[in-house]
Amino acid sequence: MLGNHHDAVIIGAGPAGSMTAYHLAKAGLRVALLEAKQFPRDKACGGGLLARTVQRVPIDLRPILRGAMHRVSVTLEMRDVHTRSSQSPLVYTVLRSEFDHYLMRAAEEAGATVLQGVRARGFETDDAGRATVFTDNGALGGDCLVGADGANSVVSRLLNARDNFYWQAAVYCEVPADLLNSSAVGWDCMNIDWGTFPSGYAWAFPKRDYVNIGAGGPIRIARHLRNYAAKFSRACGLVKSASIEGLHFTGHQLPSLTERTRVAAGNTLLVGDAAGLVDPFTGDGLCLAFRSAEIAASCIVEALGRGSRILDNYRQKLMADAASELRCARNLLSLSTIFPSLMYRLFRYNDRAWARFCRILQGTSSFVDLKSEILGPLRFASGLVDFVAERWERQALKRMVADDILRAL
């Protein structure tokens, strides 16, 4: 055995796992946090942290923030740049290698036992829901098991088939300062391109010493993303022309929860990407990674205190908190696929839409508020709107792929 029996064994020390461990250790539980890699390690990510996320996190993130973005420059099909600004920051930036290490250390300082370089290979649960985790270094037992092992979660596979999630993909590159046209970089300004690609977008997030450039979109057009990100690097003018060829974009998949997703069974539950908590419209996964960690920890503390199972409590709370928000984000994604220039036009010409967008990023409004305002008295028809929007989205996407718009990239 790797150690004593624990109240909770958490697989994966990304933000979702470390923060679950942090909350549980703070509540006085015996927690083991297993991580396959040695930290600091890199992680495919833009490193954009919504302002609303920073406000919610119970630990001081200031030492680890690399930048604060107040301005957004948006292009439509890599042309017609338009910039808007906000008085307070909209998005902060982090380097995931530093950020994840910082959170893991916070969990350790709170009292969690962190085991790095230990990959979970298999699981067993007994009738009482207690889990045994098998690794190359031995086995480990816990009263409950938390899957925080990311988009390719092995714990999630115990509960879900692949089509229980809606899948997208994204590629990124952290471009170091020596490859940048420093005079062109607005260090408080993110660049976004919409409309070039059927759904999804390209981004450039500046952070001290680096600019993170990437692109994301539906899984069926994933193979075009590297090309798109490279073209966007040239179009936004932030990277020296001679360096663009040498940029290495690496990618990963992003799962979003659907009505089929199972986020818990018995005393096993999923947090972060393992539960599909990626916003399908913005690609933001950190916000709900933190939120799910908080909800999971409170359900575990409550259930272990009562000696009962955590399943229903967690599912209900998570769905109440996250599912409707993700549903609305999914509607926006459908809308932007059907009308590729819509987001750009709203951003450029509609002050109210811009103000609302800022408030969503800053946490004083949400996609759910937006949807109920748009639907007004037709709120009861929300399910029908979801159905129609997704059907149109699929057709729009099919048409664009068939028209070979992508080959032109």
Q: Which is nearer to ligand FAD, 14 or 389 (CB)?
A: 14
Q: How far is the CB of 256 from ligand FAD (least distance, A)?
A: 10
Q: Which is nearer to ligand FAD, 47 or 266 (CB)?
A: 47
Kindly provide the b/e burial profile for residues 379-409, where b requires at least 16 CB atoms within 10 angstroms of the residue's own CB: eeebeebbeebbeebeebbeebbeeebbeee
Phi first, then psi: give them for residue 390, nearest 5 degrees: -70, -35
Q: Is 32 a binder of ligand FAD (CB under 6 A)?
A: no
Under rule CB under 6 A, which residues in 319-338 are in contact with ligand FAD? none
Q: Which of 5, 26, 101, 119 binds ligand FAD (CB under 6 A)?
A: 119
Distance CA 251, CA 169 (A): 7
Locate 44 and state its tokens. Answer: 């495919």
Q: Is 285 a binder of ligand FAD (CB under 6 A)?
A: yes
Judged by CB under 6 A, which stretch of 34-42, 240-248, 345-353, 394-402 contacts ligand FAD?
A: 34-42
**Parallel/antiparallel/unpaired status of strands 201-207 and 189-194:** antiparallel
Locate 115 and state its tokens. Answer: 């085991």
Distance CA 175, CA 232 (A): 13
Q: Is 101 a binder of ligand FAD (CB under 6 A)?
A: no
Site string for ligand FAD, 350-369 (x = CB under 6 A): --------------------
Q: Which of 8, 9, 11, 269 binds ligand FAD (CB under 6 A)?
A: 11
Q: Which is nearer to ligand FAD, 221 or 389 (CB)?
A: 221
Distance CA 225, CA 169 (A): 8
Q: Establish how many alpha carbons lie within 13 A of residue 297's alpha carbon, considering only the half-sphere containing its beta carbon.
A: 24
Q: Is 95 a binder of ligand FAD (CB under 6 A)?
A: no
Q: Is 46 a binder of ligand FAD (CB under 6 A)?
A: yes
Give CB contacts under 8 A, 24+ apart, made by 341-350. 341/76, 341/194, 341/195, 343/194, 343/195, 344/74, 344/75, 344/76, 344/80, 344/82, 344/194, 344/195, 347/72, 347/74, 347/82, 347/84, 348/74, 348/82
Q: Is 280 a binder of ligand FAD (CB under 6 A)?
A: no
Q: Is 266 left (phi over 0), alpha (psi -120 to 50) or beta?
A: left
Q: Which of 289, 297, 300, 311 binds ligand FAD (CB under 6 A)?
A: 289
Q: Which of 47, 67, 195, 200 binds ligand FAD (CB under 6 A)?
A: 47
Site string for ligand FAD, 145-184 (x = CB under 6 A): ---xxx---x---------------xxx------------
Judged by CB under 6 A, which stretch of 80-88, 277-285, 330-338, 346-354 contacts ligand FAD?
A: 277-285
Chain centroid, CA 104 distance in Å: 18
Residues that bind ligand FAD (CB under 6 A): 11-17, 34-37, 43-48, 119-120, 148-150, 154, 170-172, 214, 252, 254, 272-274, 278, 283-286, 289
